Structure 1
Amino acid sequence: MALQMQPGKLLLAIVLMLCSNLVYAIEVNNLYVADVSADQSQRQWQSNALTQVITRLTGLTDLSAYPAITSELNNAGKYVKQFESVRHNGISRLKVLLDAKLINVLLQQQEIAIWGAHRPEILVWIVQQQGADRFFLRQQDNELVQLLRQSLAEHGIPVTLPLYDMDDLMRLSETDVWAGFWQAIDQASNRYRPNMVMTLAFDEVSQNGDKLLRLSWQRQAPVPGTNQTRIVRNETTAAEYAELVSAFAAALTAELAAEQAVVLQAEHNTYQLAVSNLQSLADVVTVETLLNRVLGVATVTLSEYSAKEAKFAVNLQIELSQLTDILRWEPALLLSDTPHSTSYNTSYSATYSRESGINEPTASAVELNMVSQADIRYVFIRR
């Protein structure tokens, strides 16, 4: 039986639900927060903060090809919302919060793709070779491991490290990781249920008579338009570990952004998105709030709702296929193989406004008998 609710009670219920912690999403926090040295002029730290955030969002390290952006770097103060001074190990730093909306508009105007907050959680196996010895970097407090985690966090790349317990070591050896034996790597990684798996291998090489540190990596990457993955390989060298890890993090950000970033379009298109396995209004609000947090979603309108399914009119600044690519990293939504279904629902309209931050019902609930057609369907996975 379809659920019926008076508009006033509906608004109250939705507002209450929005105040609760119901959203389950893999989202990277603080994409628009920069960490810069306080030992520089205001103009310099503002410019460096904006550069840091743009690099994190786009993977671009050289902005000289975009004169409009380099011009904005000289006027970066207008992008600063707030900042605070912090001290770490006796060094003064500035935490700078920049305006996400203004930055997104700037990148949109330059037709530069943006890598949003929904990012894959990467399981990273790390092995190092020194002379004839090859070993896992198993300790969380290892200096090189900490350097890696810090650099990847600065670029907004979420990672998980294996436990390297008996289960792991029975399934996977250092040589498996070093050689890229992906059948063994995948079997050992399954217990962690990662979005993506990566291997890192540290060693030393000689170039022109000089010894350099080398970091080689292999990772899974989605094949566009399919559910398949391929293996991407790359490497970098440097004289010092800090330089090596920094170059790796920048290169990885550029790789992932090239695969996953989207260009926000000036023209919007509306699609019908249906979600099943919704057991309560709380589930409906969870999904609606989740969708509104996705980069490229302008508005979400709840148009139909029954005891098990809701349909949303989703207004997009991106292609529908790009939305599905982003949502592949969202554990609460599973893409359905069935594009359409027939149901009889109680319908009402409640549009989420980005400006006000609340759902605003636009019509009274009316009993309708109708066929629910959708451009795409998902199944809600409750945690």
Structure 2
Amino acid sequence: MRIAALLTVIASLWVLWIAPAQAVSVSGLYEANVMVEDQSDASRRQGLGQALQQVLVKVSGSRDAIASKALQPTLADPQRLVESFSYTRDPVDDALLLQVRFASHLIDQALVQAQLPVWGRSRPLVLVWQAVEDGPLRLLLGQDASLWRVQGDRAMAERGLPVLWPTLDLQDELALPVEAVWGLFSDRIESASERYRSDAVLAGRLSAVAGQWRYSGQLWHQQRWQPVSAVAGNAADAMRLVADVVADRFASQYAVRRQVTADNGFLLLVNGVRQFADYQALLNYLKANVAIDDAQVVRVDGDQLQLKLQLAAPWAQVWGVLSLDNRLQQTGQPGVVEWLNP
């Protein structure tokens, strides 16, 4: 019961909505839960520091961010960035947890001033096929409540990665038995994953070898497979290393390091803006995106808008971030896109 409750909490924190073939808008990026000994001032100060480090890693997309000299003044005074905090109990082991929420604009500001990247809320949804060797058994993890799944969910949540577990119904069992995942048969994994329409697929095996936990797997994203491996003293740490590899690869594409130029205005034509509601939704969407600092209307011609965008990065990277949401579609004409507001 406690494990099921924890999985419900993790899901509510990390996914605002899921749509087919679209990225996920992740909540909880500016929040962290850390274990503390008690509710004393000393424990709270220590916990706030740990929570701030977790949040900076999630939002920047890099564990190296907290080693930046430019961020040390921010790390030295976490209380200044706190929006709220409370205490709760871990549903699994009843440990005391400090729950902290930081002000998002202050976190973003600190990263930008330190010339570090900011990774927005739109992030690739990862379908996870994970085989585990548990004693004499090999298990395939799914949506059922288990300690193995808790470890995977927590590792991914610490890096702000939204995940989807397979249902393991009859269709899955026929398409992808546990031995096919264990053998990392990529063709069968791709075929079984099609029904879930995720942005990426992580498939791998986790086992104890000579006193260490080893993960061997592959990450499928943008039509290609990349190897993923990790070795640690326990299964939870091995999964944290796996999450690090996945998050680092995504962040290298989608986290935006703001460029400083005299004029980074970019003219964009947007078709399909047919109503005032479309007009408002488009501008709000663009202005809320981490890769765009501002969007101004230059001209209106029927259902087409010409916009001047103030970009936070080169257009190629900005488009990579926008394309995750599947709300704008390229038309084949340079500088012209179609608005696909749902």
- Shorter chain as denominator, the TM-score bin is 0.7 to 0.9
Matched, 1:159 2:163: yes
Matched, 1:118 2:98: no
Shift of residue 119, structure 1, vs aligned partner: 0.8
Shift of residue 320, structure 1, vs aligned partner: 0.8
Could you give the per-residue CA deviations for residues 344-378 of structure 1, whole angstroms, max 9, x where no partner exists? xxxxxxxxxxxxxxxxxxxxxxxxxxxxxxxx232
Q: For 2:123, what is the secondary structure of its paired residue?
A: coil
Cα root mean square deviation, aligned: 2.7
Matched, 1:72 2:70: no
Q: For 2:166, what is the secondary structure of its paired residue?
A: coil
Matched, 1:314 2:312: no
Aligned twin of 2:333: 338
Alpha-carbon separation, structure 1, partners of 2:331 and 2:137: 48
Aligned twin of 1:174: 178
Aligned twin of 2:255: 261
Matched, 1:35 2:33: yes
Alpha-carbon separation, structure 2, partners of 1:76 and 1:204: 38
Question: Which region of structure 1 is more displaced relative to structure 2, 117-126 or 104-113?
Answer: 104-113
Matched, 1:189 2:184: no
In terms of fraction of residues, the more helix-rich structure is: 2
The count of residues paired between Structure 1 and Structure 2 equals 316
Partner amino acid, structure 2, of 1:313: K
Shift of residue 187, structure 1, vs aligned partner: 1.9
Aligned twin of 2:47: 45
CA contact 1:140–1:146 (8 Å) conserved in 2 = no
Matched, 1:109 2:113: yes
Gaps of 5+ in 2: 1-18
Alpha-carbon separation, structure 2, partners of 1:215 and 1:261: 26
Partner amino acid, structure 1, of 2:340: I
* Matches for 1:147-296 after TM superposition, within 5 Å: 147-206=151-210, 211-222=211-222, 229-267=223-261, 269-296=264-291
- Spell out structure 1 runs of 4+ moving beyond 6 A: none
Alpha-carbon separation, structure 1, partners of 2:149 and 2:214: 15
Shift of residue 263, structure 1, vs aligned partner: 0.7
Shift of residue 316, structure 1, vs aligned partner: 1.2
Gaps of 5+ in 1: 1-22, 223-228, 340-375
Shift of residue 304, structure 1, vs aligned partner: 3.5
Could you give the per-residue CA deviations for residues 313-366 of structure 1, whole angstroms, max 9, x where no partner exists? 211121111111101210222232222xxxxxxxxxxxxxxxxxxxxxxxxxxx
Aligned twin of 2:322: 327
Alpha-carbon separation, structure 1, partners of 2:169 and 2:83: 45
Q: For 1:236, what is the secondary structure of its paired residue?
A: strand
Aligned twin of 1:26: 24
Aligned twin of 2:85: 83
TM-score by length of 1: 0.74
Distance 1:86 1:138, change over 3 A: closer
Shift of residue 25, structure 1, vs aligned partner: 6.9
Alpha-carbon separation, structure 2, partners of 1:81 and 1:133: 46
Give the percent of matched residue pairs that are identical in Structure 1 and Structure 2: 26
Alpha-carbon separation, structure 2, partners of 1:199 and 1:232: 11
Shift of residue 163, structure 1, vs aligned partner: 1.8
CA contact 1:33–1:97 (8 Å) conserved in 2 = yes
Partner amino acid, structure 1, of 2:284: T
CA contact 1:198–1:218 (8 Å) conserved in 2 = yes
Point out which structure has higher relative CO (alpha carbons under 8 A, 6+ apart): 1
TM-score by length of 2: 0.82
Alpha-carbon separation, structure 2, partners of 1:263 and 1:237: 31
Distance 1:62 1:315, change over 3 A: closer
Matched, 1:144 2:139: no
Q: Which has the larger radius of gyration?
A: 1
